[in-house]
Amino acid sequence: MFMQKKTVKCTIIGDSCVGKSSIIERIINATFLDNKETTLGACYHQTKELINGISTEIQYWDTAGQERYNSLIPMYLRNADIVILVFDLSFVNSIESVKKWKKMTDQMLSSKNSKLIILGNKLDLSNLVNKKKIQDILSSIQYDYYLEVSAKKNTNINTVKRYIKLISENIEPTHNTNIIIEKLHPQTKKKCC
Ligand SMILES: Nc1nc2c(ncn2[C@@H]2O[C@H](COP(=O)(O)OP(=O)(O)OP(=O)(O)O)[C@@H](O)[C@H]2O)c(=O)[nH]1
Ligand SMILES: [Mg+2]
């Protein structure tokens, strides 16, 4: 018996401290850590699930936002099927950086049919940047989905997961395998590099 299999590469980018790792932590482990340490280089996680009868491995590359790691980002963007670009809804500089990250994404993925999800994180905070500023920046770039979320309060994270699943459904299976996977649970693996 053959089981179809596919791999989906999902890369998460954005300024340091906007909450990229916290969002991934919510997606993978359904938790939030108040004292999350800054990411060095990048962190890799993967989940395996059965989507429409196809064994689907979603590979998450959680990149470091600190400027000294910027030169590594193109490597993690290469061949990404999904790019999640995060900014902090309470910090105007991180919103202005969206254009820089989008440019980097376009340079790496110009010929690939990848999807861009933009997330404004920290919706739980009271000092949010005014919506007009956000709209002005978002209206000047192209993207597929935009959502405001809170990794801390778990707001809209399930919708992000639903988008990732929906996009994954439309990605062609890469190859067949005769390995029969009896039962697929959502599984996680964590490896920092
Ligand atoms: N209030 C609030 N704080 C958050 C939220 N998400 C993350 N944080 C906090 O923001 C800080 C930075 O979070 P990280 O997830 O480490 O940010 P990052 O984007 O991965 O940062 P780098 O790894 O340096 O690129 C931490 O103190 C988090 O606890 C949120 O939704 N609301
Ligand atoms: Mg991080």
pLDDT digits (tens, 9 = 90+) for 83-127: 999 999 999 999 999 999 999 999 998 777 899 999 999 999 999
Verify whether ligand 1 is closer than 6 Å to residue 38 (CB atom). Answer: yes
pLDDT in tens, 39-79: 999 999 999 999 988 999 999 999 999 999 999 999 999 99
Determine whether the shortest distance from the Cβ of 94 to ligand 1 is under 6 A: no
pTM recorded for the entire structure: 0.90
| 44 phi/psi in degrees, rounded to 5 | -115, 135
Position in ligand 1 atom list of the atom nearest CA 32: 29
Any residues with CB less than 8 A from the CB of 88 and at least 6 apart, and which?
15, 17, 18, 19, 94, 95, 120, 121, 122
Residue 171 pLDDT level (bands cut at 50, 70, 90): confident
Among 113, 97, 90, 86, smallest CA distance to 172 is for 113
- What's the confidence (pLDDT) of residue 182? 34
Tokens of 47: 């989940």
Helix (H, G, I), strand (E, B) or coil at 4: strand
Structural domains of the chain sorted by starting position, each given as residue range(s) with its CATH number in brackets = 2-180 (3.40.50.300)
Please tell me the predicted confidence (pLDDT) of residue 4.
Answer: 84
Does ligand 1 have an atom closer than 6 angstroms to the CB of 22? yes
Q: Is the CB of 115 under 6 A from ligand 1?
A: no
In angstroms, how far apart are the furthest CA atoms of the chain? 56
pLDDT band at 190 (very low <50, low <70, confident <90, very high): very low
Above 60 in pLDDT, residue 145? yes
pLDDT of 187 over the 70 cut = no
What pLDDT, on a 0 to 100 scale, did the predictor assign at position 172? 76
Provide the 3-class DSSP secondary structure of residue 143: coil
Beta strands in the chain (DSSP E): 3-13, 42-51, 54-63, 82-88, 115-121, 145-148, 175-177, 189-192
| Whether the predicted pLDDT of 15 surpasses 70 | yes
Nearest-atom number in ligand 1 for the CA of 64 is: 25
